[in-house]
A and B are shown apart, each in its own frame.
Chain A
Amino acid sequence: MSWTDIGALTDIPLRGARIVKTPAGCIAVFRTDEAEVFATSNKCAHKGGPLAEGIVHGKQVTCPLHNWVYSLETGEAQGADEGSIATYPVKIEDGRLLLDTDAVAARNAA
């Protein structure tokens, strides 16, 4: 694992998201609770909508384009929709956000 500092926890508004540009494309980092973050692909499996712009609720996000709802824990689309997005390890240390860039790269290689 290669934990890369991507910014401060407080850079992301509560129940909001920011994107991180990577060679594998944009990754959305969601802050679902005071100290709870998730990282997923920013692209909705449906029409590629920018998930970081969606409304974050519970541990889910709703795509702003057509309201697909994803579990941020599993990346699976919820309800009747079928599809999934990649999820990546991300953690909080001393108020900093660390993303596992190896996982991102591996995903890219695959």
Chain B
Amino acid sequence: MSRLAKGGLIDRARSLAFTFDGRSYGGHAGDTLASALLANDVRLVGRSFKYHRPRGIVSAGAEEPNALVELRAGARREPNTRATVAELFDGLDAQSQNRWPSLDLDLLSVNQLLSPFLGAGFYYKTFMWPAAFWEKVYEPIIRRAAGLGRMAEAADPDHYEKASTFCDVLVIGAGPAGLMAALAAGRAGARVILADEDFLTGGRLNAETREIDGKPAAEWAARVTAELASLPNVRLMTRTTVFGVYDSGTYGALERVADHLPVPPPFQPRQRLWRIHARRAVLAAGATERPVVFGGNDRPGVMLAGAVRTYVNRFAVAPGRRVAVFATNDDAWRGALDIKAAGIEVAAIIDVRRAVAASLVQQAKAEGIRTLLDGRVTATHGKLLTAIDIVADGRPERIAVDTLAVSGGWSPNVHLTCHHGGKPAWNGAIAAFVPGTVPPLLAVAGAASGAFTLGSALTDGAAQGAEAAEALGFPVPLPDVPAVAEESVAIAPFWHVADSRGPAFVDLQNDVTAKDISIAHKEGFRSVEHLKRYTTLGMATDQGRTSNVTGLAIMASLTGASIPETGTTIFRPPYTPVSLGALGGHHRGKDFRAVRLTPTHEWAKARGAVFIETGAWLRAQYFPRPGETDWLESVNREVKAVRASVGLIDVSTFGKIDLQGPDVGTLLDRVYINTFSTLAIGKARYGVMLREDGLVMDDGTTARLAPEHYVMTTTTANAAKVYQHLEFCLQVLWPDLDVAIASVSEQWAQIALAGPRARDVLARVVDAGVDVSHEGLPFMGAMEGSVLGGVKARLFRLSFSGELGFEIAVPARHGAELAQALMNAGETFGITPYGIEALGVMRIEKGHVSGNELSGQTTARDLGFGRMASTKKDYIGRVMAGRPGLVDPQRPAFVGFKPVDPSQRLRAGAHFLKIGAAASLENDEGYMTSVAHSPHLGHWIGLGLLQRGPERIGERVRAYDPVRGGDIEVEICAPGFIDPEGERLRG
């Protein structure tokens, strides 16, 4: 065990058991998986992406490139999780990945021998030919060899949630700067959200042994956190990563509600995706340490110096027994002192600089640590690190160590500042990129802005928090900034030990070496964007947190340009990976989108209806009876019943728009091709409306109930579109028209009653005095009345089926009651409920157009409505419908079809060809839009669009359907297969 005897922010009283690759280990509450593994001396945790090299834990945070593991098992298995941020819980089951058969013996490490072929650009060079090999041979091999973890093989059993919230000031990061910013804004009374990806606030304060106001810094962080938690206007969101900055002060954040628990508590989601709307934001995201590149720098045991310090101080874990520090900067020296203070042997500090502040050197020497200036690490040894070779002041030496703590300096976490396209700027004094142009209303504080000392982080955080609050009208005196000792942050820019031995890795996650960068340089891929794509540097899931700057610094040294001249890539959201589950939220499976139910849904369900989705609606497709085995059998029965006697169907899904005002007639004349201003009160009319480009938008009937009151129906699919169109007409095109409209689709249940017995049934449900006789309610009549003893109703005599038909509208809450009353009233006539399949069959038999014909590509003329269009007025689409291409007589036009051999089935989508013509695009004459089996005629019938169709009645054409192997002869006929004179519906 490598757990230190004392210290750390872990709860030693709470022990947690976990497994890694099937072996059992123990940890404590407050551990991450990484700290617990190190505490158990597990130092080999993964194999690298390309070469399958053994890898250990490198970091202690979100930047981890190596320690990617699978967490949990079964349906909850989650690949590619960074062990350094996975909070330990009792029973955690973790697996290493990308190794076979085991982590210790990985046969694919043979890839290392192939490394000459797998270098930069190998994709483009090695697997070029033969082309057929790519899909069958190369890709499967590459996919198996280079891969990360395995996905779960079953649906995720957990829930994910989405939520929105608002605040005045969003503070991102709860380190010293973030805590001060939140304190300043919170005390001012602003609504503050303080978010941090960690489960503990304090940031680096928990990882270092600093003092604030004479007390341990972690204690100060806990005290400030407690004060913030006590403020009602401050919301603390730990385990929450702000991953993106979007427009107008909108931020995306992921809250890991239950990732630290074996399973989410009842009624709790696993994760919650937040959309945070903030009037101001302070980015206090801190900084990430970067390594120095040298040969053998990927050996398990080589870690970032700040990470070693974190494991020692925060988790009370000794990552090794004998540590050397390889540094370019002062901060790493303080790390070495912390490590030594914890009782771990520090063999040496090797610093690339010739001169280091005397005070640091003295402190190190006082602790008995060797200090080797002007030093380099030139090689490493052991499967797990056992020794390093160094050169210091020109003298080579081998030092036995099991841990090498490396620091190449710190890079501010500028990621979120780039999300609006801002480019980071180079700051030579700290040898790092700092925020350039930042998103509007976002300020950067502390280490994220390049202010690396603790004192400056506290001062800067307080100032930015107060400024954000004050700008929003919450004036407040700056909070007292607590006293801290000033530390030195000197650094020498140093990136790469060029004369070191062994592969020197720049990007550990994608296995990109310094040599790959020189290959890219030699082959001309020198700009940062080319470098990135050619070598895949920085393109792994860690987005190059520990590698980007080093990689481009090495390229800069090769080209001789400076780092700012070489440039940098920018970061895109998300800051860290966001699971698809969280992005989907509740919108999955049946809940992918909202479902609308008709007023008679439960009633239909009780009658055994089979439902089908039509847009957002769930509608009764047909009502099978016991003994019926085939849907067509049920549909044929329903159609025959309607044509022979009477049936009913819920048509509430049609869009219903109420229009009132003196100018309604004028409006309707301008949106329909035909005239409505002259429509008599108490009458309905079928209308067709166009888009301004001259193509048909929608159709439906509109009735006039009073001089200034019309009711429009639209197709189900276009209800919202037509409503929006009418509002556009009224608000944008013709605001002078005095018309008010309202969507009443949800308010009215509407039931169509059809068949020769329809009137007999209707007469039994209307109240006394409501005359539904032929005289009282003639064809295309509309009236208001009441049914069921006082339920107000609108009665229309309309027909879609071709039979005598009525539509009865009642307030939606009475819909099911009306359906049942009609069933009772029609019992003696054998009334039959029918679904939309039967409705479709009857409209095809009757030759009405529907969605398949209103395809957005057809004109009124194409559909046979040419003569309906008024020539006495303008209407939307009129001018454009007159374009030569839209009045071309060669355009396919609407006609009916029947198979020459009545036993043959028609298929919608079949294309028409002249008999004997080759099946080519040039010979294409149109296509079949709708087909149905007509129980009335006893064979299949179809509707379609055919060149000069109406002139070719009686002619035969080929209906060619290569997709389904159909090729039959059909006869062209008029698009009305039943009662073409319309005697039934006028009866």
Chains A and B belong together in one complex: no
